Amino acid sequence: MKKSVNHLNEITLEYTKRLFSNTGVKCSSDAANVAREIYGNTNSKIDLKEYFFVICLNRANEIIGYHKISEGGVSQTVVDTRLIFATALKCLASGMILVHNHPSGNLKPSEIDKELTKKISQAGKLFDITVLDHIIITSESYHSFVDNGDA
């Protein structure tokens, strides 16, 4: 009789230490500047198609790291909240900043953007992970959900 072996798959994250020009996030403009660095480091084209990133922070709001959650088309990208929390939990984040771009240049968040932010914020409370902000960036400017009362 053949003995069966059970295997458990493990999620792994790659850690590559990169120095950001600003390792702490104190306000939305800091978050937007870090987001621009991330888009530059990953060759993600702000004006071409949508990308969604999560920036993970420790209790002092220092950047632990970031992860690309999704890459979409010219007008949307699919965001799986499980991937966001898999990343945040694996790196023991205390806080996170959600970041995505609008290739159209329109900074106004859609209703889907607002609902997603609310959903992730509520789920974060279960894990004591605070969503500090959600930033929409374009090549010209940025929109902070916190600064504009959308969070």
Tell me the C-alpha distance between 102 and 100, whole Å.
Answer: 7
Contact assessment for residue 137 and residue 101, using Cβ atoms and an 8 Å cutoff: yes
pLDDT at 21 over 60: no
CA distance 93 to 148: 25
Q: What is the pLDDT of residues 97-121, one digit of tens each?
A: 999 999 999 999 999 999 999 999 9
- pTM comes to 0.86
The pLDDT of residue 13: 63
With beta carbons less than 8 A apart as the criterion, state whether 31 and 147 touch.
no
Please answer whether residues 51 and 70 qualify as being in contact, where contact means their C-beta atoms are separated by less than 8 angstroms. Answer: yes
3-state secondary structure of 134: strand
Read off the pLDDT of each residue in 69-80 and give the average, rounded to a whole number. Answer: 95
Question: Is residue 32 classed as helix, strand or coil in its secondary structure?
Answer: helix
Percent pLDDT > 90 in the chain is 76
- pLDDT one-digit tens code per residue, 39-60: 988 888 999 999 999 999 999 9
SS (H, E, C) 47-108: CCCCEEEEEEECCCCEEEEEEEEEECCCCCCCCCHHHHHHHHHHCCCCEEEEEEECCCCCCC
CA atoms within 13 A on the CB side of 104: 9
Q: What is the pLDDT of residue 125?
A: 97
Banded pLDDT at 38 (limits 50, 70, 90):
very high
CB neighbour class for 43 (10 Å; exposed up to 12, middle 13-18, buried from 19): exposed
Contact 92, 128 (CB under 8 A): no
Residue spans per domain, the chain: 44-50+72-105+131-139
**Is pLDDT of 33 > 80?**
yes
Structure confidence at residue 57 (pLDDT) = 95
Write down the pLDDT at residue 84: 97
Mean pLDDT value across residues 124-140:
96
